[in-house]
């Protein structure tokens, strides 16, 4: 059965890869290796800094309190980063349910999923950083074994937290998004009103106060166990406690995984006929309205939309100082608003209500009509986001030429992205699944699309928003000409999308039944 588990998940993973995704994985692997090197360098510096005699002479502000503050800040940043990025997608629970029909006991399958999750490359990267950093501080074998048990317990605790957060978020998403928006905006406002320069230049002044707060943080547990010199009896007691916690956490993960394996995900539909969203949905038509309703109800969509405005708009306000670099970055952030909506609405156009797409083989509605209505709904929502960026342009730029250049540049970049997304909605088709909001596994926008989109906006933005300053009118006219060509090409490509849908999407839909 273990071979079947490995075989199934390997095939599922391999079939999900495309050329662009392989390139994105290689790129992110290099980035992760660089980050790993940076973490290791910081860990070495933090651990061995007090032993360098010349350090206090060169940096008199580096006191014991500052050393403790740096270590606790590093440990807590590492822990909260692991909390956010730890994978709990459980290697496609819905597909692994098939193994239950082959006779694999749910307890054993749950154990396989937990072990495979622990050895996920991202989780393994965090574990290696922890072992290296905390291992440098340990002095005995027993202390090192205690640290290893602590790291396994830490993974179980994070999984337990994220499972419960996932269940809570599925029913209280609007409150979570509201709280997240309030917290982020408040932090930005508070950070903009404080002058932190004196504290960066003299950290010894703030270190004692910060340490008083950090002693209640999760990082104290890691730093205390690895850095303290306690008796062997204490470490034996900690090992026994960690083993007991591992048993309880494993049982907790088993219960949660068993529930997810045995109980199919149900859909609860409730709507208010008088709500603004319902009236908007009704105006999108029957097929388009159903598609938008499915996208809007997905947790990742609402979170993506919220973060777009909560994170992007404050940056636009703070970056707008009139300089050339500022004007370029503001234009890039304005472009990202409609682009994010296009990514959410169009990247996985056929992943929602996918079985209903098969009904068009017998239903009175044509296949082209359903595809067209879905595209129409997605473009209406994305156009609303584009209008918010276009309306903001007169308030952010001084001259008419700058306004017109950014105006045409926004439309041009969105058209370029729409051509790219036209292929993505066919090639990146993926059945939508419920995942944790605190996981980087986005079922709507693959990593390859996110990477290429950011590359397109940043690089093409240079040619759109910065070049040809000597002849701005010619620059604007050239962009208008390209917009007309791309618009005509998009209409032609859209009329032929049904053939690509028949060749690539329909076979995948049948295979899921």
Q: Which segment of 36-40, 60-64, 185-189, 228-232 scores lowest on mean pLDDT?
A: 36-40
Task: Evaluate if residue 436 carries a pLDDT over 50.
Answer: no
Instruction: List Cα–Cα distances, 339 to 303, 325, 374, 389, 425, in angstroms.
Output: 15, 21, 17, 11, 15
Q: Measured between alpha carbons, how far is 338 from 416 in angstroms, rounded to an integer?
A: 12
Q: Angle at CA 319, nearest 5°, toward 313 and 321?
A: 130
Task: Evaluate if residue 441 carries a pLDDT over 60.
Answer: no
The residue with greater pLDDT, 445 or 329, is 329
pLDDT at 444: 66
The residue with greater pLDDT, 167 or 436, is 167
Residues with Cβ within 8 Å of 277's Cβ and at least 6 positions away in sequence, in order, are: 271, 296
DSSP secondary structure letter of residue 358: H
The residue with greater pLDDT, 300 or 257, is 257
Written as one string, the DSSP assignment of 58-84 is H-TT--HHHHHHHHHHHHHHHHHHHHH
The residue with greater pLDDT, 390 or 435, is 390
- Give the percent of the chain with pLDDT over 70: 69
Q: Measured between alpha carbons, how far is 312 from 330 in angstroms, rounded to an integer?
A: 9
pLDDT at 268: 41
Task: Evaluate if residue 100 carries a pLDDT over 80.
Answer: yes
Residues with Cβ within 8 Å of 203's Cβ and at least 6 positions away in sequence, in order, are: 61, 66, 69
Q: Angle at CA 424, nearest 5°, toward 174 and 299?
A: 10
The ranges assigned to domains in the chain are 2-178+194-262, 276-512
Kindly indicate the confidence band of residue 334, based on its pLDDT and cuts at 50, 70 and 90.
Answer: confident
Angle between helices 400-427 and 447-465 (to 10 degrees): 160
pLDDT at 33: 63
Burial class of residue 495 in the structure, from the number of CB atoms within 10 Å of its CB (0-12 exposed, 13-18 middle, 19+ buried): exposed
Tokens of 343: 């990514």
pLDDT at 174: 66
For 189, other C-beta atoms within 10 Å of its C-beta total 10
Kindly indicate the confidence band of residue 245, based on its pLDDT and cuts at 50, 70 and 90.
Answer: very high
DSSP secondary structure letter of residue 275: S
Q: Measured between alpha carbons, how far is 410 from 127 in angstroms, rounded to an integer?
A: 43
pLDDT at 134: 87
**Residue 105 contacts residue 262 (beta carbons within 8 Å):** no
Mean of pLDDT over the chain: 76
pTM over 0.85: no
**Residue 129 contacts residue 272 (beta carbons within 8 Å):** no
pLDDT at 262: 78
pLDDT at 38: 58
**Residue 393 contacts residue 334 (beta carbons within 8 Å):** yes
Per-residue burial over 114-128, b = 16 or more CB atoms within 10 Å of its CB, e = otherwise: bebbbebebbebbbe
Per-state percent for the chain, helix, strand, coil, to nearest 5? 80, 0, 20
Residue with tokens 């008419």: 400
End-to-end distance of the chain based on CA atoms, in angstroms? 23
The residue with greater pLDDT, 241 or 290, is 241
- Give the percent of the chain with pLDDT over 90: 8
């Amino acid at each position: 059965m273990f071979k079947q588990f490995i075989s199934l998940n390997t095939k599922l993973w391999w079939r999900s890869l495309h050329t662009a995704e392989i390139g994105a994985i290689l790129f992110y692997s290099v980035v992760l290796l660089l980050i790993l090197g940076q973490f290791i360098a910081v860990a070495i510096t933090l651990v061995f800094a007090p032993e360098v005699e010349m350090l206090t002479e060169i940096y008199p502000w580096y006191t014991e309190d500052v050393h403790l503050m740096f270590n606790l800040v590093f440990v807590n940043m590492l822990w909260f980063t692991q909390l956010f990025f730890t994978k709990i997608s459980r290697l496609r629970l819905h597909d692994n349910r098939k193994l239950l029909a082959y006779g694999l006991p749910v307890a054993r399958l749950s154990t396989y999923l937990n072990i495979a999750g622990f050895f996920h490359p991202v989780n393994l990267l965090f574990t290696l950083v922890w072992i290296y950093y905390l291992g440098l501080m340990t002095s005995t074998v027993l202390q090192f074994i205690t640290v290893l048990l602590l790291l396994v317990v830490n993974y179980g605790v994070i999984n337990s937290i994220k499972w419960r957060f996932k269940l809570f978020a599925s029913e209280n998403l609007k409150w979570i998004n509201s709280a997240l928006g309030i917290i982020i905006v408040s932090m930005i406002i508070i950070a903009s009103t404080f002058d932190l320069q004196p504290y960066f230049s003299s950290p010894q002044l703030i270190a004692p106060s910060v340490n008083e707060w950090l002693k209640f943080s999760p990082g104290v547990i890691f730093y205390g166990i690895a850095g303290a010199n306690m008796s062997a009896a204490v470490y034996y007691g900690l090992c026994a406690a960690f083993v007991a916690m591992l048993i309880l956490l494993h049982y907790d993960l088993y219960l949660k995984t068993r529930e997810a394996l045995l109980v199919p995900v149900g859909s609860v539909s409730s709507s208010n006929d008088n709500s603004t969203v319902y009236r908007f949905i009704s105006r999108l038509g029957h097929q388009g309205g159903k598609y938008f309703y499915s996208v809007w109800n997905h947790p990742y969509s609402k979170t993506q939309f919220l973060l777009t405005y909560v994170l992007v708009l404050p940056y636009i306000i703070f970056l707008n100082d009139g300089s050339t670099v500022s004007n370029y970055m503001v234009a890039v952030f304005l472009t990202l608003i409609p682009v994010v909506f296009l990514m959410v609405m169009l990247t996985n156009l056929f992943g929602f209500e996918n079985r209903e797409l098969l009904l068009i083989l017998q239903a009175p509605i044509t296949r082209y009509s359903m595809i067209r209505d879905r595209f129409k709904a997605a473009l209406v929502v994305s156009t609303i986001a584009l209008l918010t960026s276009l309306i903001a342009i007169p308030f952010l730029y001084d001259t008419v030429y700058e306004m017109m250049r950014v105006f045409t540049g926004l439309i041009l970049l969105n058209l370029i992205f729409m051509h790219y997304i036209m292929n993505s909605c066919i090639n990146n088709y993926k059945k939508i699944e419920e995942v944790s909001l605190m996981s980087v596994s986005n079922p709507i926008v693959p990593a390859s699309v996110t990477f290429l989109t950011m590359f397109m906006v940043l690089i093409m933005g240079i040619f759109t928003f910065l070049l040809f300053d000597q002849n701005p009118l010619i620059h604007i006219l050239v962009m208008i000409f390209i917009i007309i060509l791309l618009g005509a090409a998009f209409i032609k490509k859209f009329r032929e999308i049904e053939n690509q849908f028949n060749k690539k999407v329909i076979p995948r839909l049948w295979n899921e039944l």
